């Protein structure tokens, strides 16, 4: 492992920590393409399995960081969403771990493009706690969608959860990132478990199933360095700016992944 590679993984971790605590998107949108492209011998399935495993730890720290000093921690809502996302993440993680090559990338690309375009049209909706309880089924379905996307693509599910939760009005713009990270802990743990149990494909050291644990410490350390700055950004990011940043970021990454899939 060269010094340049170590520095690169730390920088990647910084990007993961920033986007996780600032936008609640999980960081997999950086990790999956970076692992697939810059780690020799890495296949797409192991890239997303490793991404999911790392997000468990990054999101867990963010839950503590983002909920400090807040009384509205949305534990109940997070549990309802997670009840659907755990099932979706494990099922889709297992199913897609059987695929090979760029077949894994296309669901990822389609998701990023679709959600990125829709994000530009987000409007803030505020509903009271009683209305949230009435939308129990909506929250569960959001969880299932979050889990399917997380397990299938390795993004963590925040790219789906954040815009859908805002569209449904079950959480405010100010607290959506904390909610997203809370749900991602359980979601990514389920998806990572499916990849641990999958058939090993990558001929690399420290790979178990389709998870490369050697990359975890470097990315995690980088994420913790950038995490506090991401929290600072999140607290100062109104919805009209959040939706532009999220939309542009998702579309740009989707375009890069299309190029990678077609030329790889």
Instruction: Dump pLDDT digits (tens) for 35-77.
Output: 887 888 888 889 989 999 999 999 999 999 998 877 777 888 8
* Whole-number Cα distances in Å, 234 to 40, 68, 105, 201, 238: 34, 14, 29, 38, 8
The arithmetic mean of pLDDT across residues 253-260, rounded, is 73
Whole-number Å distance between alpha carbons of 139 and 14: 31
Whole-number Å distance between alpha carbons of 88 and 4: 37
The arithmetic mean of pLDDT across residues 167-183, rounded, is 86
- pTM of the full structure: 0.84
Cα dihedral 107, 122, 177, 17, rounded to 10, equals: 60
Query: Angle, to 10 degrees, between the axis of helix 105-119 and the axis of helix 158-168?
Result: 30
More confident residue, 10 or 128: 10
Sign, Cα dihedral of 34, 35, 40, 44: negative
Range(s) of the domain holding residue 25: 3-263
CA 255 to chain centre: 18
Instruction: Dump pLDDT digits (tens) for 121-167.
Output: 777 666 565 666 667 888 888 999 888 888 877 877 887 888 888 88
* Residues 57 and 216 sit within 8 Å (Cβ to Cβ): yes
Whole-number Å distance between alpha carbons of 15 and 189: 21
Whole-number Å distance between alpha carbons of 76 and 215: 33
More confident residue, 108 or 230: 230
Instruction: Dump pLDDT digits (tens) for 200-228.
Output: 988 889 999 999 999 999 999 999 999 89
Q: What is the pLDDT of residue 62?
A: 93
* Residues 97 and 50 sit within 8 Å (Cβ to Cβ): no
The total of structural domains in the chain comes to: 1
More confident residue, 172 or 51: 51
Instruction: Dump pLDDT digits (tens) for 177-205.
Output: 899 999 999 999 999 998 898 889 888 89
Q: What is the pLDDT of residue 214?
A: 93
Where residue 109 falls (left for φ over 0; alpha for ψ -120 to 50; beta otherwise) is alpha
More confident residue, 246 or 211: 211
Query: Angle, to 10 degrees, between the axis of helix 3-23 and the axis of helix 239-263?
Result: 140
Q: How many CA atoms lie within 13 A of 169 on its CB side?
A: 13
């Amino acid at each position: 492992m060269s010094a340049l590679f170590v520095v690169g993984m730390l920088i990647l971790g910084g990007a993961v920590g920033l986007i996780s605590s600032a936008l609640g998107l999980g960081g997999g949108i950086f990790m999956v393409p970076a692992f697939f492209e810059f780690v020799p011998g890495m296949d797409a399935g192991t890239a997303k399995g490793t991404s999911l495993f790392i997000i468990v730890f990054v999101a867990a720290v963010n839950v503590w960081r983002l909920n400090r000093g807040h009384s509205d921690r949305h534990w109940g809502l997070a549990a309802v969403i997670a009840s659907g996302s755990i099932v979706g993440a494990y099922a889709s993680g297992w199913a897609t771990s059987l695929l090979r090559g760029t077949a894994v990338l296309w669901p990822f690309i389609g998701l990023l493009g679709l959600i990125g375009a829709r994000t530009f049209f987000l409007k803030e909706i505020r509903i009271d706690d009683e209305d949230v309880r009435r939308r129990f089924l909506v929250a569960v379905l959001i969880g299932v969608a979050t889990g399917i996307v997380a397990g299938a693509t390795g993004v963590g599910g925040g790219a789906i959860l954040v815009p859908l939760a805002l569209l449904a009005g079950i959480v405010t713009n100010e607290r959506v990132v904390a909610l997203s990270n809370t749900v991602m802990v359980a979601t990514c743990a389920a998806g990572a478990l499916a990849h641990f149990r999958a058939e090993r494909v990558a001929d690399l050291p420290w790979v178990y199933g389709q998870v490369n644990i050697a990359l975890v410490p470097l990315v995690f350390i980088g994420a913790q360095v950038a995490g506090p700055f991401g929290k600072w950004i999140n607290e100062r990011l109104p919805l009209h700016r959040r939706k532009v940043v999220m939309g542009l970021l998702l579309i740009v990454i989707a375009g890069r992944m299309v190029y990678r899939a077609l030329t790889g």
